[in-house]
Structures are given as structure tokens and as C-alpha cells.
Amino acid sequence: MSRVFNKILAFFNLQSGSFVRAIMQPMRFDIFTLFPEVFQPYLQTSILERAQQKGLIEVHLHNIRDYTTDKHHITDDEPYGGGGGMVMKPEPIFAAVESVLGSPPACPVVLLTPQGRTFNHRIAQEYAQLPALALICGRYEGVDERVRKHLVTDELSIGDYVLSGGELPALVVLDAVSRFLPGVLGDPDGATDDSYALGLLEYPHYTRPAEFRGWRVPEVLLSGDHGRIARWRREQALLRTWQRRPDLLEKATLTGEDQAFLERLRSAQENLFQGDNDEV
């Protein structure tokens, strides 16, 4: 009863075009981990908590250890061929995933691993189209290769560094995917307004007070002139992207005015270098 009521509420929260998700089932996430307890605090906070309450997502946590069959509930073992570290055994992982999702599993099964393709905005958006997604959190030195070869359909990394396990990466994926589901963000344009969606980094944000420790908010933001503010924000976004992530500019959709602004930045930079050379 309350699920139906929540869905009606969520429906009216949405803009047109978003109604499909509202009348459909929530997106279902199944997370397979040795440490389900680490997920709870984040899932019970802010946007993800509200998304669950509104019936927009469902998160099911499964402890891989519950699917062991031996007396000591062992989930890892030494690597064949020797070497350091432990490897996660295949049987409990297969048993966990197949008993929850069937064989073969009814949805994509993602392994979080530093060896996966790098997760990004586009992958999050693609996954948000699915009714369900399973995430397996690796630990120790890795998981038995047969899990990768015969169970997993995709491998994702959240960046070129090694964490102690796939739990934080799974939360990252869950959060980023959920933000694309209609109704999850208060602002219906939220995820599509995010910086990567627009192809540019975001402009700087300020709030009250207008002056803090002598640092003033840029005057244009206090001017009430919406045209000037919009132009300033666009130019700041272009400047920031040009300085920090010039690679993004190659794919961004730019107006003639944007191009002209970037041209001015480039020639200002060239003049600066020219000045340096003159001095030498």
C-alpha cells in the first residue's frame, strides 16, 4: 500500500517523460560482498535513502560467506602456483549469485576490480536504463579467474589506484547510476545538468555571506542581471575546463560564442609565452 502511494507521490514529483520509471518497478541492485555492514550507513543517508523510500531503487545486500558449505565458512584460499596473498574462492560467489539471480543470472553481473574498464558518466547513464544490476565486490588479491570468465558480464574500475576491496567502488556505481533515475534527484534536471553531462566542468559556486574573511563573492553574481550571470557562468565553466580538463573540450558542444571565448584564452596564453621568450 505505502509503496503504491510513494510511487504516486514520486510520479507527481517528476517532469513529463520521466513517468516511465515511476510506473515501472524500482531499479534493483544486488550487491555481493563479504562486508554487507559497510553499506548500511551510506544507504541510510540522504539521496539514496530517499530513493529507496520513494520506491525508485531497491538494494539487496548478500553476504558471500552465507553461501559457503564448509564448517569454517571459508571464502578465500592460497593461489595455485604459489605467491603471496589470498584469492576468493569461486564456489561461494557462484552459489550466492546463482541462488539470488538464477543461472544464468537474469541481469548484468559486474565485478568491481582495478582491472576493469574505467567507470564514467556514460556507463552510469547506460546502466540506469536497466531494470536490475548485480555488483560483486572483490577482496584479497582478487577473485578466481573462473568467476570473471563464466559469471561476470562486465568489470569496472573506479580509477587507477588499488582499494582494499570492491565495496567503496560498488557504492560509487550505485550512487552514480541512481542519480540518473527519474525522481531520485529533487531537481529533475539534476543528473543531466551535472558537469560531465554538459561536457564541461562546473562553474564556481558561492553562497552567503557576500564577504568572508575579506574574500568577496564576484560582483556579477550579486547584480541580479540574469543574462550577465549566465554568461559569466558559461565562461567560468569554459575557463575551468580549458585549465583542468582540456580533453573534455574536444567532445563538448560549443556555441560560436564559446569558441570565440576559448580563442581569446588561447591567444592570451600565447601572448604570455611570447612575453617570456622576449625576455630570454
Which of 33, 75, 113, 241 is the binder for ligand ADE (CB under 6 A)?
A: 113
CA of 146: how far to CAs of 45, 54, 143, in Å?
A: 36, 38, 8
47 part of the interface to ligand ADE, by CB under 6 A: no
Hey, what amino acid is at 45? T
Stretch binding ligand ADE (CB under 6 A), from 71-79, 92-100, 108-116, 224-232: 108-116
Catalytic site includes residue 114:
yes
* Separation of alpha carbons 193 and 191, rounded Å: 5
Q: What SS3 state is found at 22?
A: helix
- 9 or 163: CB nearest ligand ADE: 163
Which of 56, 57, 93, 112 is the binder for ligand ADE (CB under 6 A)?
A: 112
- 119 or 232: CB nearest ligand ADE: 119
Stretch binding ligand ADE (CB under 6 A), from 109-117, 121-129, 210-218, 265-273: 109-117
Which of 90, 92, 114, 183 is the binder for ligand ADE (CB under 6 A)?
A: 114
* Separation of alpha carbons 165 and 169, rounded Å: 8
Contact criterion met (CB below 8 Å) for 166 and 135: yes
- 90 or 169: CB nearest ligand ADE: 169
Contact criterion met (CB below 8 Å) for 125 and 180: yes
CA torsion through residues 180, 51, 44, 99, sign: negative
Active-site position among 90, 114, 169, 182? 114
104 part of the interface to ligand ADE, by CB under 6 A: no
CA nearest neighbour of 268 among 241, 232, 242, 229: 242
In the numeric block, the cell 534493483 is attached to 28
Which of 159, 209, 218, 246 is the binder for ligand ADE (CB under 6 A)?
A: 159
183 part of the interface to ligand ADE, by CB under 6 A: no
The shares of helix, strand and coil residues in the chain, as percent rounded to the nearest 5, are 50, 15, 35
CA nearest neighbour of 91 among 70, 109, 72: 70
Active-site position among 141, 155, 175, 235? 141
163 part of the interface to ligand ADE, by CB under 6 A: yes
- 158 or 200: CB nearest ligand ADE: 158
Q: Which residues bind ligand ADE (CB under 6 A)?
A: 112-114, 138, 157-159, 161-163, 165-166, 169
**Active-site residues: which are they?**
114, 141, 179, 194
